[in-house]
Each structure stands twice: as structure tokens, then as C-alpha cells.
Amino acid sequence: MKKNKKFKWFPVLNTIILIMLALICVIPLVHVAAVSFSSSAAASAGDVSLWPKDFTTSSYSFVAKRPAFWRSMKVSVTRIIMGGGLSILLTITAAYPLSQPKASFRFRTVYAWFFFITMIFNAGLIPWYMVIRQFGLLDSIWALILPGAVPVFSVILLLNFFREVPRELAEAAFIDGAGHWRTLWTIYVPLSKPALATLLLFSLVANWNSWFDGLILMNNPDKYPLQTYIQTIAVQRSFSMMTREEIQQMATISDRTLRSAQIFLGSLPIVIVYPFLQKYFVKGIVLGGVKG
């Protein structure tokens, strides 16, 4: 009876700890949203906590009229659509042969180590930049997409997921005359939706939140992705991307509320997309992390 009573405390404590961790993650975003909807006086005085004071949408009206913000938003949307699709396609085509038995792919282990070594050793930032420049990708959307198009961690997760697919299904397809390509897209991919949804979420978050590569690979500020644009405004507090009229309008709007509005808008798309993919997230991580 004592053991049972002690055991019942674990779910309670676990729930409390998880709720506290969730609040730690959510409260900063709620605070930023509250500041963005507050008046300039309340935000400047530091009176805003988790609820807006003197509710106003002036900061959002200012952001909505800024062409630079929407240009950077367009670049980021293009990046996650093209980058996410290309990343999933290349991950699938790389993971499938690596998941096959040695009898089908003799040098499977050699290629797997070739991929894995790139996770441990990195040539560094300067060689990475020089390679991108030599290929003539600077100031193009491909400079933001191609360097990270094959995430090795995603390949490892997916190949382990593919190894969990019953081999009998593939053998039955081969007997019916299907080749590897058709077997991959008609058997392996449909059965791997949880893993693919997880990898897609990883790709979307990585492409959306990345700002450093846009800063060093884009010489023209008009080609900055959204996070790079926000970094120049919120962190560097650079006004080089503002027109004279916009700088004059800044006199009537608090710099803090404006930055909060842009940060909140920048994080909103991922917050909206995540609940639709969350149900696949845990299953994809657990099954993809099991060695077959």
C-alpha cells in the first residue's frame, strides 16, 4: 500500500513540472504580445506584464504599411516552401538506400559513416562562405536553401524509421514487379507520415528562425529573410532599412512596442503550424530513434 501511494505522486509531480516548463516557454511570448498591443507610454514606463495596457494596434498598423517587412516575409515564406520541400525530398532519397540490408546495398555502412562524419567535423564558417560564393549563390534565394538542404540528423532519423517497415511488404512489391523507386513512394513514404511530419516541422522551424545566413549571404537588405530583418531592427536597432517618413512616424510610436509587434508576427506562423503537426511529433521521434 505504501508503494502504491508513493507511485501516485510521480504523475502529479511530473504534471506540475511540465506545466511550469510550459509556462516558462509561453510567458515570454505572451509578454511580447502584451507589449505590442500596449500604448507607447505604458511600454516605455515598463508597466506592461502579461496583459496590454491602453490597448492599441498602432504598432501593427505601422508594420502593415512597411514594404520592407512584407518583402522579408515573402522571402521567408518562399524559403520554407522551397527549402522544406527540397529537404524532405533529398532526405527521403538519401535515407531509403541507407536503410536497405547489406545484401541489397553492399556499401551501405560506408555511405552512412560518410554522412555521419559531417555531423562531427565542420570545416568552419569561412570555407562554408567561400564555397557558396564560388558557386555564385550570393544574393539569391538558393544561398539560403541549398547549404542546409540535406540535414544529416533527419536522414538518420528517417533511415531508422524505414528499417522498422516490415521487409515483407517490400519483398511482395518486388515480386509484383515494382522497382525500388515505386516501392519507396508507394510503401515506405505512406507508412512514414509521422516521421516525415516531424522532419518537416524541423525543416520549417530551422528555415524560418535562421537569420545569420541571411545577414552574411545577402548584400542587399531587400533580400533579407524575416528573421534577419527583425534582427537588424530589434537587436542592432538599425534604421537603414527605413524611409524618412517611417523614421518620422517612429516619433509617435514606442520603439519597444514596434519591435515587439514585429517579433510577435515573426513567431506567429510557426505557432499556428505546430499544433497541426504536433500529434506526429512524439511518434516520429520515438520510432525514428530506434535502431533497426
**What's the CATH code of the domain at 97?**
1.10.3720.10
DSSP state at residue 220: S
Residue 245 · residue 66 · CB < 8 Å: no
Average pLDDT estimate for 217-241: 77
Q: Residue 84: name the closest of 206, 226, 179, 246 by CA.
A: 206
Residues 25 and 110 in one domain: no
Q: Residue 68: name the closest of 267, 262, 212 by CA.
A: 262
Confidence of residue 250 (pLDDT cuts 50, 70, 90): low
Residues 37 and 122 in one domain: no
pTM score = 0.77
The torsion angle over the Cα atoms of residues 176, 179, 185 and 186, rounded to 10 degrees, is 0
Average pLDDT estimate for 31-38: 88
Whether residue 211 is contained in a domain is answered as yes
Instruction: Tell me what the pLDDT averaged over the chain comes to.
Output: 82
**Which domain, by its residues, includes 282?**
65-288
pLDDT(43) > 70: yes
Total tally of structural domains belonging to the chain = 2
Instruction: Select, from the ranges 42-46, 120-124, 136-140, 230-234, the one with the highest average predicted confidence (pLDDT).
Output: 136-140
User: How far from 80 is each of 15, 149, 154, 203, CA to CA, in Å?
Assistant: 34, 11, 16, 8
Whether residue 53 is contained in a domain is answered as no
Residues 219 and 262 in one domain: yes
